[in-house]
């Protein structure tokens, strides 16, 4: 009997039933039934099952129902995107509506749950007419018409999805203003970008940077009170301005559209869950853009730091400033955090106004050469962590070459030191390329960016071992220690 059953299954044929006569004369009929073994199967198995089902449908045998029951669905609980989300998806993927319509027709047209072209067009018009999505073209570039509306729109979307994250900044400024530590200090005054600490605020960063090919200055706003504020999909592109350089004159034209909006945002705040909240503005641009925004000279100025008043180098010409504020090169640790904060407070009180610091005026100081475009509390200037980390990586690599140069210069003279440095740099580059699998970019001064930047920290053993035998032992040991600490940072 078993042989008969196996023959019926394995041998080719189109017999939906197997009839077997037993020894006692009774006839038993077995009906073929296709039953799924696994609920989740791979593509090849799905194809086999579908082929079997098609065969059964064609023959119309009794196993049809069973085969349909065993049909495998690729996804359970299909998500229905709203029409606005479909419009948005088309825009995000730079897809044409005709292309989208083809995609819609494949899974069954109107039965697919995707909107028709007419519906998409009307919703697109409706969405594009919202104030937060309108774009205006000026002489400087393309800008959002209303930055405040765009931010409010995003905040409302986050509130609806319950994705607002409370981030309370422990603000020392308000406390300093309320009880000035110095006798004769300036009285409490509201500072731009600094809401009172008594109520929760919404932190918004404004960033400018020039980049891309062709070069354009991009202005991006981001709401910090969300899970991933630095993700591009969480940020708002406020303006794109094709320009050759991010000098102050050009930045002034670029920001002309947005400065009144920023003022309005600071004045009116944003509505979160039906309640109005103040906005804390944080400046997060790259170094060059910050200097131009705040009217500062540059990194080579006497006082290059935007957050304190230290001078760059000790010099006879600015001995009074050096004595008063110290220099960047002073790392003795005498000026601790509170002292830096004090400088920042003073600067905030003195220079936060957009009209102060006119060139040639008596209050012209801190290497501020022009009137700042944006008045902001200097303590709300975010450190440029990525650029700083990339710069420090590069500086540490250069330091390896320097210790080799110093060693050979001391033993064999200037020319030999220079030649040794050149040879070692080439050797280091080859080592990083072949064994470390990291390579510098040909732009940005040869920085290591993206994956190479992250991998460089893991390959520090290679870098630390490279100058062994070519530099002073104490230098090599210190160098390795510095890399170890930097990797922890």
Is residue 466 a contact point for other proteins (CB under 8 A)?
A: no
- 3-state DSSP assignment of residue 80: coil
Minimum CB distance to other proteins smaller for 205 or for 261: 205
* One of 51, 57, 117, 299 touching other proteins (CB under 8 A): 299
The nearest distance, CB 295 to other proteins, in angstroms, is 16
Is residue 81 a contact point for other proteins (CB under 8 A)?
A: yes
Burial of 344 (0-12, 13-18, 19+ CB in 10 A): buried
Q: What are phi and psi of 312, to 5 degrees?
A: -75, -50
Contact between 216 and 240 under an 8 Å Cβ cutoff? The reply is yes
Is residue 20 a contact point for other proteins (CB under 8 A)?
A: no
Is residue 118 a contact point for other proteins (CB under 8 A)?
A: no
The nearest distance, CB 32 to other proteins, in angstroms, is 36
The Cα–Cα gap between 455 and 448 comes to 9
Residues 265-284 that bind other proteins (CB under 8 A): 282, 284
Per-residue binding string, other proteins, 333-352, x by CB under 8 A, is x-x-x--xx--x--------
> Beta-carbon neighbour count of residue 319 at 10 Å?
11
The nearest distance, CB 37 to other proteins, in angstroms, is 23
Number of residues that bind other proteins (CB under 8 A): 129
Is residue 127 a contact point for other proteins (CB under 8 A)?
A: yes
The nearest distance, CB 36 to other proteins, in angstroms, is 21
Contact between 243 and 140 under an 8 Å Cβ cutoff? The reply is yes
The nearest distance, CB 189 to other proteins, in angstroms, is 20
- 3-state DSSP assignment of residue 30: strand
Angle, CA 184 vertex, CA 179 and CA 186 arms, to 5°: 65
The nearest distance, CB 231 to other proteins, in angstroms, is 6
Per-residue binding string, other proteins, 433-462, x by CB under 8 A, is x-----xx-x--xx----------------
Is residue 174 a contact point for other proteins (CB under 8 A)?
A: no
- What Rg value do the Cα atoms of the chain yield, rounded? 34
Strands 279-283 and 202-211: parallel
Please provide the distance, in angstroms rounded to a whole number, between the alpha carbons at the two ends of the chain.
76
* One of 324, 430, 461, 465 touching other proteins (CB under 8 A): 430
Is residue 357 a contact point for other proteins (CB under 8 A)?
A: no
The Cα–Cα gap between 177 and 62 comes to 86
Residues 307-336 that bind other proteins (CB under 8 A): 307-308, 310, 312-313, 328-329, 331, 333, 335
* One of 269, 375, 421, 467 touching other proteins (CB under 8 A): 421
* One of 85, 256, 263, 350 touching other proteins (CB under 8 A): 85
Contact between 463 and 369 under an 8 Å Cβ cutoff? The reply is no
Q: Determine the interface stretch with other proteins among 103-111, 232-240, 260-268, 355-363 (rule: CB under 8 A).
A: 232-240
Strands 142-144 and 235-242: antiparallel
The beta-carbon contacts of 448-451 under 8 Å, at least 24 apart in sequence, are 448/390, 448/393, 448/394, 449/390
The nearest distance, CB 426 to other proteins, in angstroms, is 4
Minimum CB distance to other proteins smaller for 241 or for 251: 241
The Cα–Cα gap between 447 and 390 comes to 7
Q: Which residues are CB-neighbours of 244 under 8 A, at least 6 positions away?
A: 215, 250
Minimum CB distance to other proteins smaller for 8 or for 149: 149
Is residue 214 a contact point for other proteins (CB under 8 A)?
A: yes
Q: Which residues are CB-neighbours of 429 under 8 A, at least 6 positions away?
A: 440
Is residue 387 a contact point for other proteins (CB under 8 A)?
A: yes
Preceding omega of 153 cis (within 30 degrees of 0) = no
The nearest distance, CB 31 to other proteins, in angstroms, is 38
- 3-state DSSP assignment of residue 172: helix
The nearest distance, CB 185 to other proteins, in angstroms, is 19
Residues 398-417 that bind other proteins (CB under 8 A): 398-399, 401-403, 405-406, 409, 414, 417
The nearest distance, CB 138 to other proteins, in angstroms, is 9
The Cα–Cα gap between 272 and 194 comes to 18
Name the residue among 96, 97, 165, 87 with its Cα closest to residue 133.
Answer: 87
Is residue 190 a contact point for other proteins (CB under 8 A)?
A: no
The nearest distance, CB 29 to other proteins, in angstroms, is 45
Distance, CA of 346 to chain centre = 32
Distance, CA of 31 to chain centre = 62
Is residue 63 a contact point for other proteins (CB under 8 A)?
A: no
Is residue 356 a contact point for other proteins (CB under 8 A)?
A: no
């Amino acid at each position: 009997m078993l042989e008969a059953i196996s023959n019926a299954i394995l041998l080719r044929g189109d017999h939906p039933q197997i009839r077997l006569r037993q020894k006692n004369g009774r006839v038993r009929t077995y009906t073929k039934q296709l039953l799924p073994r696994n609920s989740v199967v791979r593509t090849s198995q799905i194809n086999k099952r579908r082929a079997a089902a098609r065969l059964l449908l064609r023959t119309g045998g009794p196993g049809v129902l069973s085969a349909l029951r065993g049909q495998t669905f690729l996804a359970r609980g299909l998500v229905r995107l709203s029409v606005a989300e479909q419009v948005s998806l088309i825009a995000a993927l730079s897809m044409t509506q005709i292309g989208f319509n083809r995609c819609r027709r494949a899974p069954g047209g109107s039965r697919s749950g995707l909107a028709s072209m007419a519906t998409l067009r009307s919703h697109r018009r409706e969405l594009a007419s919202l104030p937060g999505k309108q774009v205006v073209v000026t002489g400087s570039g393309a800008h959002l018409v209303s930055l405040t509306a765009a931010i409010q729109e995003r905040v409302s979307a986050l509130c609806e999805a319950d994705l607002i994250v409370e981030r309370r900044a422990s603000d020392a400024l308000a406390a300093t203003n309320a009880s000035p530590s110095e006798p004769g200090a300036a009285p409490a005054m509201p500072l731009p970008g600094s809401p009172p600490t008594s109520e929760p605020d919404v932190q918004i960063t404004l960033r400018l940077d020039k980049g891309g090919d062709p070069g354009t200055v991009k202005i991006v706003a981001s709401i910090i009170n969300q899970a991933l504020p630095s993700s591009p999909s969480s940020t708002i592109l406020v303006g794109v301005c094709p320009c050759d350089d991010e000098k102050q004159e050009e930045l002034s034209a670029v920001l002309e559209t947005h400065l009144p909006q920023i003022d309005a945002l600071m004045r009116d705040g944003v509505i979160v869950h039906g309640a109005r909240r103040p906005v804390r503005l944080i400046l997060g641009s790259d170094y060059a853009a910050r200097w131009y925004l705040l009217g500062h000279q540059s990194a080579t100025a006497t006082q290059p730091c935007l957050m304190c008043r230290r001078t760059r180098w000790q010099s006879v010409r600015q001995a009074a400033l050096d004595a008063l504020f110290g220099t960047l090169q002073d790392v003795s640790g005498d000026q601790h955090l509170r002292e830096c904060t004090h400088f920042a407070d003073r600067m905030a009180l003195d220079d936060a106004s957009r009209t102060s610091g006119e060139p040639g005026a008596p209050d012209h100081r801190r290497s501020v050469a022009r009137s700042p475009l944006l008045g902001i509390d200097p303590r709300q200037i975010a450190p440029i962590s990525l650029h700083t980390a990339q710069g420090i990586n590069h500086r540490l690599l250069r330091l390896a070459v320097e210790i080799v140069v110093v060693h050979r210069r001391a033993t064999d003279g200037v020319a030999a030191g220079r030649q040794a440095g050149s040879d070692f740099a080439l050797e280091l580059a080859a080592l990083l390329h072949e064994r470390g699998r990291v390579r510098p970019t040909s732009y940005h001064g040869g920085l290591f960016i993206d994956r190479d930047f992250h991998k460089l920290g893991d390959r520090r053993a290679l870098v630390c071992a490279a100058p062994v035998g070519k530099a002073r032992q104490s230098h090599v040991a210190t160098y390795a220690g510095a890399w170890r600490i930097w990797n922890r940072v």
